[in-house]
Structure 1
Amino acid sequence: MAYLKTLSAVDHAQAQGAQKEMLDTALKQVGFIPNMYANMVNAPALLGTYLSGYARFRAESGFAPAEQEVVFLAISMANGCTYCAAAHSMIADKMSGVPGPVLQAIRQGQPIPDAKLSALYELTQELVHTNGRPAQSRLDAYLQAGYSEQSILYIVLATAVKVLSNYSNHAFGTQVDDRFSAYKLA
């Protein structure tokens, strides 16, 4: 349920100053203004921080695109963000090469049929659920799957980025964009 009652999405045509700059950047990056961005830009620093952190995670994490989507989906599912779960499901399916059975398992809360991606998903979810204090056994499974300790810090970065978007979507009750509405969770 949305709890911000007096703020509304910023119309790109009406935006000025920092809001316009941020929305222009978003338009160049993704080809449209997602509803989430139009809401977040009410506080330009919020959207700017989100876009910067998101881009740096994508560019610097060392995770393959499919792994990046598994991380974003794990966080969004843990935080109950239906908007981001839909968006990242579409990206996972159409752009990042997440295997269909893996995406289906994530969306249905079932065991993931890929040991490495499962270890990544499980550690990410546990980091969210434990406020960054996972069990040693979960860390061991993650490291044994072939991931590095440094990569855990990039999961922390992704978590921070997704908290910005997930919590903003909760605050606004952001409607899922038509472009990925087919991926809304039932």
Structure 2
Amino acid sequence: MMKLKKLDEKNSTGIAKDILENVKSKMGMIPNMFAYMANNPALLKSYLETEKNFREHAGFSSVEQEVILLSVSIENECTYCVAAHSFIAKNQSNVPEEVVKSLREGKEIKDKKLAALQVLTKEIVKTKAYPSQESLDEFKNQGYLDEQYLGVLTGIALKSMSNYFNHMNETIVDDAFSDFKWEKN
């Protein structure tokens, strides 16, 4: 485990301080992951900019975004991100409860379009971007475009940064997300 200092807007300097002040003003808190990522502002800034780009330009609804982000986090067994994105799914993105439950339990989603997104996302992570033609075909059959395939890759890149960081740091789940704690199988 790394021995990073937990930073906030008071004990940080430079770009890290600016980023953390901005996070706190927008979220009302500094999540533990950000407080530790700030030890390397390049990582935190890259994460936040990639998240913004994913949210605004990847071509997915907020529900679909959370299906991607939770699928990656579960596949990568990131207890921190599964808790955080379960919270976001319920409280900010209006993801149906049965969808979040299926994702968290490792079951396929009943909604065919979301299931195609879930299956493709998981396959890309598992196979290091060599998904089956069947998964790609089902993704397209459900109405997704080739451009959105690239959006899935953006979501995977985003969560890979945070999932791997949280594994290395053993980041503790924030109290705000504690109702959504998740244990890997």
Alpha-carbon shift at residue 65 of structure 1 (Å)? 0.5
Aligned to 1:170: 167
Among 129, 134, 137, the alignment partner of 1:137 is 134
Alpha-carbon shift at residue 38 of structure 1 (Å)? 0.4
1:180 paired with 2:164, answer no
TM-score, with structure 1 as normaliser: 0.95
Aligned to 2:82: 85
SS at the partner of 1:112?
Answer: coil
Aligned to 2:26: 29
Alpha-carbon shift at residue 7 of structure 1 (Å)? 1.8
For structure 1, the residue ranges without an aligned partner over 5 or more in a row are none
Which stretch shifts more, 27-36 or 138-147?
Answer: 27-36
Amino acid across the alignment from 2:56: A
Aligned to 1:105: 102
Give the Cα–Cα distance (whole angstroms) in 2 for the partners of residues 40 and 151 of structure 1: 28
Q: Check conservation: 2:83, 2:178, Cα contact below 8 A.
A: yes
Aligned to 1:76: 73
Q: What are the Cα deviations for residues 85-138 of structure 1, in whole angstroms up to 9, with x where unaligned?
A: 001011111111111111111111122111110100110011111111111011
Amino acid across the alignment from 1:155: V
Among 151, 155, 160, the alignment partner of 2:157 is 160
Over the matched positions of the two proteins, sequence identity in percent amounts to 43
SS at the partner of 1:71?
Answer: helix
Aligned to 2:148: 151
Aligned to 2:111: 114
TM-score, with structure 2 as normaliser: 0.96
Give the Cα–Cα distance (whole angstroms) in 2 for the partners of residues 11 and 31 of structure 1: 12
Give the Cα–Cα distance (whole angstroms) in 1 for the partners of residues 39 and 152 of structure 2: 27
Amino acid across the alignment from 1:142: F
Equivalence map 1:45-84=2 (5 Å):
45-84=42-81
Equivalence map 1:35-46=2 (5 Å):
35-46=32-43
For structure 2, the residue ranges without an aligned partner over 5 or more in a row are none
Q: Check conservation: 2:8, 2:30, Cα contact below 8 A.
A: no
Alpha-carbon shift at residue 18 of structure 1 (Å)? 1.5
Give the Cα–Cα distance (whole angstroms) in 1 for the partners of residues 163 and 23 of structure 2: 18
Alpha-carbon shift at residue 11 of structure 1 (Å)? 3.3
Number of residues of Structure 1 aligned to a counterpart in Structure 2: 183
CA-atom RMSD in angstroms: 1.0
Amino acid across the alignment from 2:93: S
